Amino acid sequence: MIITDLHLHTAHSGDCDEPMEAVAESAIERGLKEICFTEHYDPDFPPEEEYDFTLDADAYLTHFKICAERFEGRIKLLFGVELGLQPHLTEILREYAAAYPFDFIIGSSHLANGKDPYLPSYFEGRSEREAYLEYFESTLKCVECFDDFDVYGHLDYVVRYGPNKDKYFSYGAYSDILDEILKRLIEKGKGIEVNSGGLAHGLDHPNPRLEILKRYRELGGEILTTGSDAHKAERVGYRFDDLNELIKSAGFEYITVFEKRRPRFISLD
- Please give the residue ranges that form the binding site for Zn ion (CB under 5 A): 82, 108, 153, 229
Instruction: State the number of CA atoms in the 13 A half-sphere of 15 facing the CB.
Output: 16
Q: How far is the CB of 249 from Zn ion (least distance, A)?
A: 24
Q: How far is the CB of 153 from Zn ion (least distance, A)?
A: 5
Q: How far is the CB of 229 from Zn ion (least distance, A)?
A: 4
Q: Are 265 and 255 in contact (CB under 8 A)?
A: yes
Give 245's contacts (C-beta < 8 A, 6+ positions apart).
Answer: none
Amino acid at the residue 160: R
Residue nearer to Zn ion on the CB measure, 82 or 150:
82
**CA 132 to CA 156: how far, in whole Å?**
9
Q: Are 66 and 27 in contact (CB under 8 A)?
A: no
Q: How far is the CB of 234 from Zn ion (least distance, A)?
A: 16
* Strand pairing class (76-84; 151-152): unpaired
Q: How far is the CB of 44 from Zn ion (least distance, A)?
A: 16
Q: Which residues pair with 257 in a beta bridge?
A: 264
Residue (of 63, 5, 65) closest to 34 by Cα position: 5
Residue nearer to Zn ion on the CB measure, 103 or 229:
229
Q: Kind and range of the H or E element at 61?
A: helix 57-70
Other CB atoms within a 10 A radius of the CB of residue 65 amount to 12
Residue nearer to Zn ion on the CB measure, 175 or 232:
232
Q: Kind and range of the H or E element at 35?
A: strand 34-41
3-state helix, strand, coil in the chain (%, to 5): 40, 20, 40
Residue nearer to Zn ion on the CB measure, 56 or 187:
56
Q: How far is the CB of 218 from Zn ion (least distance, A)?
A: 25
Could you say which DSSP state residue 112 is in? B
Residue nearer to Zn ion on the CB measure, 80 or 221:
80
Residue nearer to Zn ion on the CB measure, 232 or 268:
232
Residue nearer to Zn ion on the CB measure, 5 or 229:
229
Q: How far is the CB of 15 from Zn ion (least distance, A)?
A: 9
Helix or strand or coil: residue 217?
Answer: helix
